[in-house]
Amino acid sequence: MASAMDNLREWYRDRRSRLDLFDETLVSQQAKPLYLLGPMLYYFWLVTVVSGVILMFWYEPTTTGAYSSILHIQHEIPLGWLVRGVHKYAADGLIITIILRIYRQYFLAEYKKPGELTWVWSFLGLILAMISGITGYLLIWNQRAFWAAKTVLTVPVYFDELTAKIPVIGERFNVGSMIAFLFLGGPAIGEATITRFYALHFGISLVLLIVAEVFYYRTRRVRLNMSLVPIVLFMVMLIFISHPSVLPAELGRRADPNRTPLPILSDWYFLALYQYVKYTPPLWAGLGPGLLIGFGMLAPFLDRSKYRRPLERPFFFVVGVLALIYFIAFTTLILFNVAVITREPPLVLLTTIVVLSGALAWELRFRRQRARAPAAEPTPAPVARPATAAAHGAGGDS
């Protein structure tokens, strides 16, 4: 037991020394656009936090004052529309860059040794970013945000059907309902909900920012390994999009618990989940997202092959492609409301089973072929080099 704990501590120390929060160590790869995703992620995150702090001066986190305070910011505060728009679209940029970076890490097998801890932090960051997104979305307190949050918070309740079958626990606790109650602060969305969502929305960013800054303080790494050009370019884009005559941040109508809008839609990154919930029975509606998160977090430990190229990891490659296709397809279907619920679910399930079975057969066949072939050198991981302030000078540190 002591030996196992020593090995675990040694593993953690080694991976922590190689931890790469925002691609700050991949200096030799910075000429490639895909490796600008890390610095851009940090940049969008910083813009989101700073603009959010400014909005706090005028925002009122109550059911009676939230929507009115948003109107006040948008129309009466000088450049309030700009701060709110930059906050919204920088948050969207953060979600986009973290998703693209995770797909890069996944398809290029950057999660393999020694990148396991970097991958786990990246995937956890996506989950926290989406939680921050849905909590921040409700703070507008308009019809779309209210009912979207209500729909998302029904998903944990579906776990009750699963936990009901567990001896002792299922008889005494409805775990899914307890999770929903913790977020709601009661049986329905109300004053306690908006208070908790406001605290979560701010707290997630604050805690993560402190963790990141402690990390950078201790490692002496540069935060933004990119030139001034993309920084200025993306800020100009955020300002342009936020203008009232272009694509201002949404206002909508004040939330009305007694009037259900149709269709109920959240921000774009939750639409695929909405469609999935429509497709599946209650048990799988709650279990499916949990299994997907579990697979994502454990991917470095499930993929034990030494190969890194996508086609050298057939099963994991197909799972990644299938997840991407389903995300795009489900999002499109719910946006245009064209899915036929009585027809598509069996087709989706059958397609998933057939494709994953084929991917598993491909994986086994590939491994048998490699086992018979002469030993080949595995694909090397991207070269990581410490990005210290001394190595890069003052340009780029933020």
Question: Per residue of the chain (398 residues), what is the pLDDT tens digit?
Answer: 667 787 888 888 888 888 888 888 876 666 778 888 989 999 999 999 999 999 999 999 998 899 999 999 999 999 999 999 999 999 999 999 999 999 999 999 999 988 899 999 999 999 999 888 888 888 999 888 888 888 777 777 777 766 666 665 555 667 777 777 777 887 778 888 899 899 999 888 888 888 888 888 888 888 787 888 889 999 999 999 999 889 888 888 898 888 877 777 778 888 888 888 778 776 777 778 888 889 999 999 998 888 888 888 999 999 999 999 999 998 888 888 777 666 677 788 888 899 999 999 999 998 888 888 765 555 666 666 555 444 443 344 43
Same domain, 297 and 237: no
Cβ neighbourhood burial of 147 (10 Å; 0-12, 13-18, 19+): buried
Instruction: Tell whether 88 is covered by a domain.
Output: yes
Same domain, 238 and 282: no
Q: How many domains does the chain have?
A: 2
Cis omega (within 30 of 0) on the bond before 248?
no
Of residues 145, 38, 45, the one with CA closest to residue 90: 45
What is the rounded distance in angstroms from the CA atom of residue 191 to the CA atom of residue 66? 10
Same domain, 86 and 194: yes
Domain extent for 340:
267-374
Same domain, 68 and 195: yes
Q: What is the pLDDT of residue 394?
A: 38
CB atoms within 10 A of CB 114: 15
Instruction: Tell whether 160 is covered by a domain.
Output: no
Instruction: Tell whether 4 is covered by a domain.
Output: no
Q: HSE of 159 in the Cβ direction (CA atoms, 13 Å)? A: 18
Q: What is the pLDDT of residue 307?
A: 86
Instruction: Tell whether 395 is covered by a domain.
Output: no
Same domain, 341 and 242: no
Instruction: Tell whether 215 is covered by a domain.
Output: yes
Same domain, 113 and 213: yes
Same domain, 201 and 314: no
Instruction: Tell whether 163 is covered by a domain.
Output: no
Same domain, 57 and 201: yes
Same domain, 30 and 126: yes
Instruction: Tell whether 262 is covered by a domain.
Output: no
What is the rounded distance in angstroms from the CA atom of residue 160 to the CA atom of residue 178? 9
Q: What is the CATH number of the domain that holds 131?
A: 1.20.810.10
Same domain, 68 and 122: yes
142 has which bridge partners? 254
Residue reference for tokens 């945000």: 145
Same domain, 28 and 94: yes
What is the rounded distance in angstroms from the CA atom of residue 312 to the CA atom of residue 376? 12
Same domain, 226 and 307: no
What is the rounded distance in angstroms from the CA atom of residue 98 to the CA atom of residue 224? 15
Q: What is the pLDDT of residue 360?
A: 92
Q: Are 226 and 36 in contact (CB under 8 A)?
A: yes
Q: Are 104 and 265 in contact (CB under 8 A)?
A: no
b/e 340-358 (16+ beta carbons within 10 angstroms → b) = eeeebbeebeeeeeeeeee
Quick one: how far is CA 137 from the chain centroid? 15
Report in angstroms the alpha-carbon separations of 200 from 122, 206, 242, 251. Answer: 19, 10, 25, 22
Q: What is the pLDDT of residue 182?
A: 79
Last residue of a domain, one of 225, 257, 289: 257
Instruction: Tell whether 11 is covered by a domain.
Output: no
